Structure 1
Amino acid sequence: MRKFEQDDYEESHDGREAALLRYIYAHPSLPQVRNSPSTLLSLMDDYAAKQDFLINIGSDKAGKLVKLIMEEKPKVIVELGGYVGYSAILFAYALRQATPESSTNLRVWSLEADPLIASVAMNFAELVGLSDIVKFVVGPAADSLKRLSAEGKLPKVDILFLDHDEPLYKPDLEVSEELGFLHPGALIVADNMVRPGAPDYREYVRGSSKYESWGMKGLIVPGDFEDEIEITRVR
């Protein structure tokens, strides 16, 4: 495996995403992966641990976010930064478990800027039978949010998950505020508060009377580097 600790180490978009896709489809347990989100996520974690690091949320943060979803029972989640679909698949699977009686009303909108990376994510969602819940949108997050809102697809969002470029967290939250789909009680969940960090975003949400905000510890796996997720509730 490449050295994750190196400062100059390229963490993504260098061909490893296509290699992950080939790894999954060549894996002996592929028949068990079909229609099994948990099996696919486990294999993706295994690839990240033994083959090449992936900028997914990883198993430690995944468990904490699933617990949050089970408690909140959201219907609609929007994530900015879909990457290879790990978190979108995790969220959709958790939504279906949390509210099985409302499965037809569940939606995960996964916004990813890179069309090639998004195609990998789409393939995985189809593989595990979640393409009815997860919908991928390709393009810059702000543009995609505006288009979805104009099309009437975002009347109400229960969780907004920020996991794209950290300098865009604050401006894209401001776009979301302008579009008005974050209702009182909704959550904004921002990853990577320590590495690489988003200080302007954290200062904004913690300094605004519109929000109640707190941190939740998590690990970047592999490597067990400590990180933090910012949880923000709309008042």
Structure 2
Amino acid sequence: MTVLAPLHFADAREAAALAAFLTRLVHYDRAAAVRLQAGGGALAVFGRPPSFEVLAIRTARLVDAVDLDVTVSAGELLDGIEETAGKAVVPGAVTGPPWAGVLPPRSGWRPVEGLPGAAEMRGAVAAAVAEFRTRDEELPEERRTRAERDRIGREIWSRTLGATGLPLRAVHAAQSLGFLPPAGVEEGPVALFASGPWLRLRTPYGSVALRTVPMTLPVTPGR
């Protein structure tokens, strides 16, 4: 297997934060892949946790201005991180999943008004989880199926946060991945941005992005 040159982070905390992010991704999907893009002394790591239907983005500062664009196994990258040394061995490339070829734009983002604070967003996620549990418990036995539970989940998590257009599933993903500042911690700036069909929720710990308009692939007429 081809192994790329190691990445050297600005400090050990950057390596630890990336390791924590990858650990959460692998928790949701042991076979998860991530796309790495590095340039100008910064690394961006893109992943897609299943069920949330969003892209998760974690950035890290690097010592060197490395140019890199590759898709790798999240688990193998996690195994190659040496937190105390502040470095990571980049494993060989893998065949990327479809989402890895459709990333959010790098520029053109404009602020979206109306986003509540982190505490209110945590409250919205907690209320949605409680509603799901209540509605699930109220299902009669003959309707207690995976399809019915998925339908309830889609209904709840597709609701938007106020007038922002941001679905609750994106906020749920941000909390589950450790991106929302936890209660009792100085929250720092949490903001929402839009660029074309994309929305991006950015926090001090990472971002989640999603398309508000599904991708349409060209159809080749049959012969």
TM-score by length of 1: 0.28
The structure where helix makes up a greater share of residues is: 1
TM-score by length of 2: 0.29
